[in-house]
Chain A
Amino acid sequence: MAAWLVRRLVAALAILWTVATLTFVAIHVAPGDPFLPSAERPVDPAVVATLHRRFGLDRPLPEQYARYLAAVATGDLGVSFSQRRPVAAAIRDALPHTLLLAAAALLLDYVIGIAIGLVQAATAGRRLDEALTVVTLMIASLPAFWVALVLLLVFGGWLHWLPVAGAYDPALYDALPFAGRIADRLRHLALPAATLGILGAAATARYQRAALLEALGQEYVRTARAKGLDERRVLLRHAWRNALVPITALVGLALPFLLTGAVLVETVFAWPGMGRLAADAITLRDYPLVTGTAVTACAVVVLGSLVADLLLQAADPRVRVHG
């Protein structure tokens, strides 16, 4: 177990090192310079040189690389060109918003997805099951940002039920009592989380259905039925418990999906998280912020899949590693 954990940690570090290196290479290979004068932004060459010196861009590449790695290792992701503050500080402000969004989306994803999967397994092969199969497939095939726009149009534009931008109401928030602040935040969270949750749930439902039908074909289910247990009990007590295991294993895989979706959904709903930070950094050609968000996102995913593996081991003794 300890050896396994060490191996996993080494692998995780190797992944992060590779990602950091690749981002570094990409930046220096790609054409374009953040300080080069453009038609709408003429800059004195002397100023360009000063800027290059200040941000270390005049150093030889190996030295820049070494400095970059050392800095990343100590959590120093550089100074953002556009925000004029440490990248780490900008990420510290944004990351909690994305984690909140991801957690809420994951909750919706699993609750809705597992419920649909259970309904489908209980009605397998019948009209309802077939209809849900087609519906979940279609939903899982929709672009996340488009679903976000449609929800924004319906619930924000037509029905005026929910706010469509930001994490809270900047005008009212400070004046609200504590309970009101929570409610305000939840109302702002509703549409972005629903977008990611619904899309994820469509995929989760398909996995849950397959896992349940797999479990229902096992001998212990036949035994349970032979004992005379009613079908509801067989499904919920015997099959479902085992069918939850592969679903738990998917949490680790859901993280890249959630972060990818977050980039697009945060852009639509002006949600102040990592995704919007990254998208803004791209438009502003803010290199340190671009690489910082990419490396941080990868770190979150690697850490998340590690935690998911540990959870899976706790949930299922069959996959427990020894030694």
Chain B
Amino acid sequence: MAAASWLALGAALLAAWLGVAAIRRAALTTNAGRAFFTPGAHAPARWGLLLLAAAAALALAAPLVAPYAPTAQLDIVGLQNRPPSFAHPLGTDLYSRDVWSRLLYGARVSLAVGALGMVIAVTVGTAVGAAAGYWRGAVDAVLMRLVDVGLSVPRIFVLLVLAGLWERMPLGVLVLAIGLTSWFGTSRLVRAEVLAAREREFVQAARAMGAGPARIVLRHVLPNAAGPIFVTAALGTGVVMLLESGLSFLGIGVAAPLPSWGNMIADAKDSVRAAPWSVLAPGLAIGLVVTACAAVADGLRDALDPRRARRGAEQLAPFPASWDLSAPMHDPTADAPRSRA
């Protein structure tokens, strides 16, 4: 690796650190932000945020940081499955490509798919949940039955059917398909929040003043549901990334030669014994980023609901990150009767 690459790496990490510092400054003006950045509390969440920022910075700066082109087969005879060295920090893969460079470029694809898929899922989930909660009645019944179907179908089979039918699924279609099969949990969550908020006095006041449904939902109801939505979004990004990696591993996600962390593992799986690094690196990258997403969601949840954090009991509530979004996004014991003061 050339000195320029090391320099770019340092600069990218510094930029990530500065970015987090800027987020912190902005966040300190809000109550939840202050709670999130309180020293001592939510340490894993702040580490997670830093890690996500670093991953995003490295992804953006990939062309500068990566010492080689991600698809360049450097020397198919001399550099096949080489262990990590100074020139190749994470070794080379079966096709003599530099694993570190592919990891950096793969971060662009994996993070982008995760973020975009999550945005689609959260948008659709919020819209459906708000509609069901606001209008109730027949709209609610129809939408929630649809959600029931969505939650009880193992999503990967739906995606397998879709992906299998496209000769080669374009990346946009893949993101859309992932997003449109990932919103069911969010819609239930938002519906519950909207149901609770729509009876509050300020919503009645807004209605009495003649505000229409759109204004009431967007201006008065949804801001009150923003907390859980943010938590879902943070967690959802990780879940979508796991899903993408699984689909790419099966050869129906992100298509080669464009590197994603999932298809890097798929490419390297047959040479796992000869070149373990080419499998370990992208897998650990996925694991770290998904853990970071879950940790941030965890801290965000506590910061947004200080009472919950003080109770301590569920301070680190369960995070089924590798589960479907269909798993309960919040306290699974919520339905059980409780006698909490």
Q: Is the CB of B154 within 8 A of A260?
A: yes
CA distance A296 to B292 in the complex (A): 35
Q: A66 on the interface (CB 8 Å rule)?
A: no
Q: A77 on the interface (CB 8 Å rule)?
A: no
In chain A, residues 131-171, which have Cβ atoms closer than 8 Å to a Cβ of chain B? 133-134, 137-138, 140-146, 149-150, 152-153, 157
Q: Is the CB of A211 within 8 A of B265?
A: no
CA distance A102 to B283 in the complex (A): 24
Interface residues on chain B, number (Cβ under 8 Å): 70
Of A19-27, A43-51, A172-180, the one contacting chain B is: A19-27
CB contact under 8 A between A210 and B161, given known A203-B323, A263-B156: no
CA distance A116 to B81 in the complex (A): 39
Q: Is the CB of A256 within 8 A of B152?
A: yes
Taking CB atoms, residues of chain B closer than 8 Å to A209 are 316, 318
Contact of B161 among A202, A259, A290 (CB under 8 A): A290
Taking CB atoms, residues of chain B closer than 8 Å to A302 are 152
In chain B, residues 283-341, which have Cβ atoms closer than 8 Å to a Cβ of chain A? 283, 286-287, 290-291, 293-295, 298, 311-314, 316-324, 326-328, 331-333, 335-340
Taking CB atoms, residues of chain B closer than 8 Å to A145 are 245-246, 249, 265
Q: B149 on the interface (CB 8 Å rule)?
A: yes
Q: A189 on the interface (CB 8 Å rule)?
A: no
Taking CB atoms, residues of chain B closer than 8 Å to A268 are 269
In chain A, residues 260-281, which have Cβ atoms closer than 8 Å to a Cβ of chain B? 260-261, 263-264, 267-268, 278-279, 281
The smallest C-beta distance from B323 to any residue of chain A, in angstroms, reads: 5
Contact of A217 among B145, B246, B313, B321 (CB under 8 A): B313
Taking CB atoms, residues of chain B closer than 8 Å to A214 are 313-314, 333, 338
Q: Is the CB of B333 within 8 A of A210?
A: yes
CA distance A262 to B313 in the complex (A): 33
Taking CB atoms, residues of chain B closer than 8 Å to A318 are 336-337
Q: B160 on the interface (CB 8 Å rule)?
A: yes
In chain A, residues 1-53, which have Cβ atoms closer than 8 Å to a Cβ of chain B? 11, 14-15, 18-19, 22-23, 26-27, 30-32
Q: Mark A276-288, 1 if CB is under 8 A from B, else 0.
A: 0011011101010
Taking CB atoms, residues of chain A closer than 8 Å to B265 are 143, 145-146, 149
CA distance A301 to B316 in the complex (A): 29
Q: Is the CB of B337 within 8 A of A140?
A: no
Q: Is the CB of B149 within 8 A of A143?
A: no
Q: A245 on the interface (CB 8 Å rule)?
A: yes
Q: Is the CB of A143 within 8 A of B332?
A: no
Q: A294 on the interface (CB 8 Å rule)?
A: yes
Q: Is the CB of A150 within 8 A of B250?
A: no
The smallest C-beta distance from A214 to any residue of chain B, in angstroms, reads: 5
Q: Is the CB of B251 within 8 A of A199?
A: no
Q: B171 on the interface (CB 8 Å rule)?
A: no
In chain A, residues 210-262, which have Cβ atoms closer than 8 Å to a Cβ of chain B? 210-211, 213-214, 216-219, 245-246, 249-250, 253, 255-257, 259-261
The smallest C-beta distance from B95 to any residue of chain A, in angstroms, reads: 18
Q: B200 on the interface (CB 8 Å rule)?
A: no
Of B61-69, B123-131, B271-279, the one contacting chain A is: B271-279
Q: A95 on the interface (CB 8 Å rule)?
A: no
CB contact under 8 A between A138 and B152, given known A143-B262, A257-B327: no
Q: B75 on the interface (CB 8 Å rule)?
A: no
Taking CB atoms, residues of chain B closer than 8 Å to A153 are 272-273, 276, 279
Q: Is the CB of B249 within 8 A of A140?
A: no
Q: Which residues of A contact B (CB under 8 A)?
A: 11, 14-15, 18-19, 22-23, 26-27, 30-32, 125, 133-134, 137-138, 140-146, 149-150, 152-153, 157, 199, 202-203, 206-207, 209-211, 213-214, 216-219, 245-246, 249-250, 253, 255-257, 259-261, 263-264, 267-268, 278-279, 281-283, 285, 287, 290-291, 293-294, 297-298, 301-302, 305, 318-319
26 chain-A/chain-B pairs, Cβ below 8 angstroms: A11-B145, A18-B149, A22-B158, A27-B161, A141-B291, A141-B321, A141-B322, A146-B245, A149-B279, A150-B280, A203-B320, A206-B316, A210-B317, A214-B338, A253-B323, A253-B328, A256-B152, A256-B324, A259-B154, A263-B157, A268-B269, A278-B157, A279-B250, A283-B164, A283-B251, A293-B157
Give 13 new A-B contacts, CB below 8 A, not counting A31-B167, A140-B322, A283-B251: A30-B162, A32-B166, A134-B44, A137-B291, A137-B295, A141-B322, A153-B276, A203-B321, A210-B317, A214-B313, A217-B313, A219-B339, A283-B164
